[in-house]
Amino acid sequence: MLSTTDALNLYNRGAYVECSQALTRLGVVDSKLFPVFEKEANRWVKEADSSSVERRALVAASVALEIAHLFREQRSERAGHYLVWASLLMRKHQATPQSEAERYWYLASIAGFLEVDTYWKLTAGLGTDAGEFQDLMWALGPGGHLAAAWRRFPDEPRLLLARVEAEEYLSQGLGAQRVEPFSDVFTPERLQDLRMRAAARVPDSVHTIEEMVARSNRDLAVAALNHFRLIPQVESHFQALERYEGLRGEIELRVGFLEFLLANWGSALEHFDRVAAFTDDAYLLYLSEYFSGRTFQKLDDHDAAISAFERAQEIIPGARSVAVQLGKELFLNDRAGSRDRVYPLLSSAFAASAPDDPWRLYLRGDARLWPVYMAHLREALK
Partner 1 sequence: MRAGARLAVCAILVARWFVHAQSPSGQSVFRSGVQVVSIDASVRRRNTLAVLAQGDFELLDNGVKQEIEARSIAEVPVDVSMVLDEGSISKLIYAKTFKSDLLQIAATLRSIDRIRVITFATTVRELVAMQPARQLAVDKLTEIDESLPPGIENRWDLTQDPNLLGRSELDALFLALAWPVDLGRRHLVMDFSEGVDSSILDRQSIVAIAARSDALLHIALAPEVIGRSSLGSLNVSDLRLRGMLASAAAATGGGVHELVDRLKAFTTTFEELKQSYVLRYTLTGVPPEGWHEVVVKVPKCPDCVVRARKGYFGR
Q: Which stretch binds partner 1 (CB under 8 A): 49-57, 80-88, 263-271, 345-353?
A: 345-353
Q: Which of 27, 35, 131, 154 binds partner 1 (CB under 8 A)?
A: 131
Q: Are 337 and 331 within 8 A, CB to CB?
A: no
Of residues 238 and 362, the one with the C-beta less far from partner 1: 362
Of residues 17 and 200, the one with the C-beta less far from partner 1: 200
Q: Smallest gap, in angstroms, from Cβ of residue 376 to partner 1?
A: 29
Write the interaction track for partner 1 spanning residues 272-311; mark x where CB under 8 A is met and - where it is not: ----------------------------------------
Q: Which of 12, 20, 62, 76 binds partner 1 (CB under 8 A)?
A: 76
Q: Are 22 and 48 within 8 A, CB to CB?
A: no
Query: Among candidates 32, 43, 42, which has minimal Cα distance to 71?
Result: 32
DSSP 368: G
Q: Smallest gap, in angstroms, from Cβ of residue 339 to partner 1?
A: 8
Q: Are 237 and 162 within 8 A, CB to CB?
A: no
Q: Is 129 in the site for partner 1 (CB under 8 A)?
A: yes
- Other CB atoms within a 10 A radius of the CB of residue 146 amount to 27
Q: Which of 284, 342, 363, 369 binds partner 1 (CB under 8 A)?
A: 342
Q: Is 26 in the site for partner 1 (CB under 8 A)?
A: no
Q: Are 242 and 274 within 8 A, CB to CB?
A: no
Q: How far apart are CA 265 and CA 261, in angstroms?
A: 9
Q: Is 180 in the site for partner 1 (CB under 8 A)?
A: yes
Q: Is 139 in the site for partner 1 (CB under 8 A)?
A: no
Q: Is 332 in the site for partner 1 (CB under 8 A)?
A: yes
Report the phi/psi class of residue 128: left, alpha or beta, with left for phi > 0 and alpha for psi in -120 to 50: beta
User: Which DSSP helix (H) or strand (E) runs through 37?
Assistant: helix 33-46
Q: Is 189 in the site for partner 1 (CB under 8 A)?
A: no
Q: Are 59 and 12 within 8 A, CB to CB?
A: yes
Write the interaction track for partner 1 spanning residues 200-239; mark x where CB under 8 A is met and - where it is not: ---------x--xx--xx--xx------------------
Cα 170 versus chain centre, distance: 12
Q: Smallest gap, in angstroms, from Cβ of residue 208 to partner 1?
A: 11
Say whether the peptide bond before residue 97 is cis (omega within 30 degrees of 0): yes
Query: Among candidates 282, 279, 289, which has minimal Cα distance to 311?
Result: 289
Q: Smallest gap, in angstroms, from Cβ of residue 107 to partner 1?
A: 25
Q: Which of 100, 200, 343, 355 binds partner 1 (CB under 8 A)?
A: 343
Q: Smallest gap, in angstroms, from Cβ of residue 103 to partner 1?
A: 30
Q: Is 357 in the site for partner 1 (CB under 8 A)?
A: yes
Alpha helix locations (H) across 183-264? 188-198, 209-239, 248-261
Cα torsion 334, 336, 337, 339: sign: negative
DSSP 95: -
Q: Is 74 in the site for partner 1 (CB under 8 A)?
A: yes
Q: Is 176 in the site for partner 1 (CB under 8 A)?
A: yes
Query: Which residues contact partner 1 (rule: CB under 8 A)?
Result: 31, 73-76, 129-131, 133-134, 176-177, 179-180, 182-184, 209, 212-213, 216-217, 220-221, 320-321, 324-325, 327-328, 331-332, 334, 339-340, 342-343, 346-347, 350-352, 357, 359
